[in-house]
Amino acid sequence: MYYQRQAPHIRPMTTAHLAQTMSLLQLNTLELRQKVESELARNPALELIDEYRCPNCHRILRVNAPCPTCSHNQSNSPEQPIVFLAARQDFYSPSVSSTDQDENSADEHPVQKLSLVEHILRQIGPELPVEDRSIAYHILTSLDEDGLLPINPAEIAQYHHVPRSRVERTIRHIQSAEPIGTGSPSPQDALKVQLETLRETREVPPYVTEAVETGLEFLSPHRSAELARLIGIPISQARQVVRFIADNLNPFPARAYWGEPGRPAVGVKSDRNTYTLPDIIISRVNETEDSPLIVEIAMPYYGTLRVNPLFKESIQQAPEDKSDLWQADLEQATLLVKCIQQRNNTIVRLMQRLAVIQRDFILHGEMKLRPLTRAELAKQLKVHESTMSRAVADKAIQLPNLRIIPLAMFFDRSLHIRSVLKTIIDQETSPLSDSHLAQILTGKGYQVARRTVAKYRALEGILPAHLRLQSHG
DNA sequence: CTATGGCACGGATT
DNA sequence: AATCCGTGCCATAG
């Protein structure tokens, strides 16, 4: 399927190389992993050997990557505090541990991304009693697109002829898996579960529990006034509560990692029931202001992918009729390996640049996002615009604050203004009209037309001024 | 008369 | 070439 049986030597190498690099570049890590797996299964010239470890420190290394501990780092100048670790390979577990049901569905229509069901089963699989597996599977496949359970546990119990308590026990198992709260019957329950889990590791501000229990409908940022009145606390404290909940909890667990609750993230395909893992992870070394950033590129497979040297040697002894085929396989394998390396290289270079340009955004949030176009970055990196587009397409990136957002968000033209707009509205004492908001924004150095303010408002799901509530009283 | 949403146009972006 | 986005104009609601 991946190669035509034509005389391979006629095919111009460069064209094929280019074409394949391009097509690989626009795949995200999971898609690439599937591609590699299918090639591995089909092509005897390709082999996957154990991960390559640094002889001194035993760190797992990407092929050809300098060891970050023993040898010096390539990209670490003092004014650009960024450290690039070797791409990490341990991120995606090998595909052995899936259940029977998964195998079947995967055969029928190849999964593009790890489904939520599979993701959770892998987590709870080990602790889940075997006899509860079918129940868990039943629950997971019944989830709606937000990760909530729309049907009654009693139904499931009846269907499997088991006591209800066993179903509920299984639900609790599922709720405790990432994303926490999945399988809850309602957004409120999901929040409660998340809150409990959070309590184990962190201090939870006062009144958060009350807000979740009674003031659920007032939890959106611009309704803090109503919440304050309901619980009987100052508005400022209500804002903190709302802020805390927005930052740490999510009423729709399955959307947990896609940007902000309730708002579909920018640039995401509207695939339903897919759970997206990051292709790139950024973390920080410490909490100081000038802390270096660690950028990790997730690898699609364990170990080192390479052309099997034995296959290469034995190719002269190929049987007459197979000779062409083997030759084609060999070329295909070499091509794939090269292209994957090139893909990684492109993404690493992209991220090196991006981490410098958008450092403030990565560390301090949306308001600091610097408007940047793909074309601009392409120019700086001296690559073609279409290459940039592909590199950015369909990738997810995890920020140090653990939020996972589409890489495309780094190129949002108006996110920073929208974010400023949000805080203005959040802090307004009486509802401001669009034209007034436009004035304030212009005063702050963001030139936007009144009409545009209206569009941004709509985008953020904020009601027009006359429908917003007075914040005091 | 003011505030806002719909439509459409043109330029930028992909 | 196709799509997205900011903006102006106009109709409508209050």
Percent of chain A whose predicted confidence (pLDDT) is above 90: 19
| Nucleotides of strand B under 7 angstroms from a protein beta carbon | 2-7, 12-14
Residue nearest to nucleotide C14 (CA to C1'): A466
Confidence of residue A258 (pLDDT cuts 50, 70, 90): very low
Q: At what angle do helices A385-392 and A13-25 cross, to 10 degrees?
A: 40
Q: Using a 7 A cutoff on CB, list residues near strand B.
A: A 373-375, 385, 389, 411, 413, 433-436, 450-451, 454, 457-458, 464-466
Helix (H, G, I), strand (E, B) or coil at A341: helix
CA/C1' separation A447–C5 (Å): 15
Q: Is the pLDDT of residue A158 over 70?
A: yes
Residues 6+ away with beta carbon under 8 Å from A147: A116, A179, A181, A182, A183, A190, A252, A253, A254, A255, A256
For residue range A162-205, what is the model confidence (pLDDT) as tens digits?
A: 888 888 988 998 888 777 888 888 888 888 888 888 887 677 78
* Range from A176-185, A371-380, A405-414 carrying the lowest mean pLDDT: A176-185
Residue nearest to nucleotide C5 (CA to C1'): A413
Looking at residue A196, its pLDDT comes to 86
Helices (H) and strands (E) in chain A, counts: 19, 9
Whose C1' is closest to the CA of A462: which nucleotide? B4
Residue nearest to nucleotide B5 (CA to C1'): A454
CA/C1' separation A451–C10 (Å): 13
What is the pLDDT averaged over residues A291-299? 80
| Nucleotides of strand C under 7 angstroms from a protein beta carbon | 5-9
Residue nearest to nucleotide C6 (CA to C1'): A452
Measured in whole angstroms, the distance separating CA A20 from the mean position of its chain's CA atoms is 24
**Rounded CA separation A171/A169 (Å):** 5
Helix (H, G, I), strand (E, B) or coil at A35: helix
For residue range A306-335, what is the model confidence (pLDDT) as tens digits?
A: 888 888 888 888 777 788 888 999 999 999
Do A350 and A320 contact (CB within 8 A), yes or no?
no
Phi first, then psi: give them for residue A157, nearest 5 degrees: -60, -45
* Range from A3-7, A215-219, A348-352 carrying the lowest mean pLDDT: A3-7
pTM greater than 0.95: no
**Rounded CA separation A153/A394 (Å):** 36
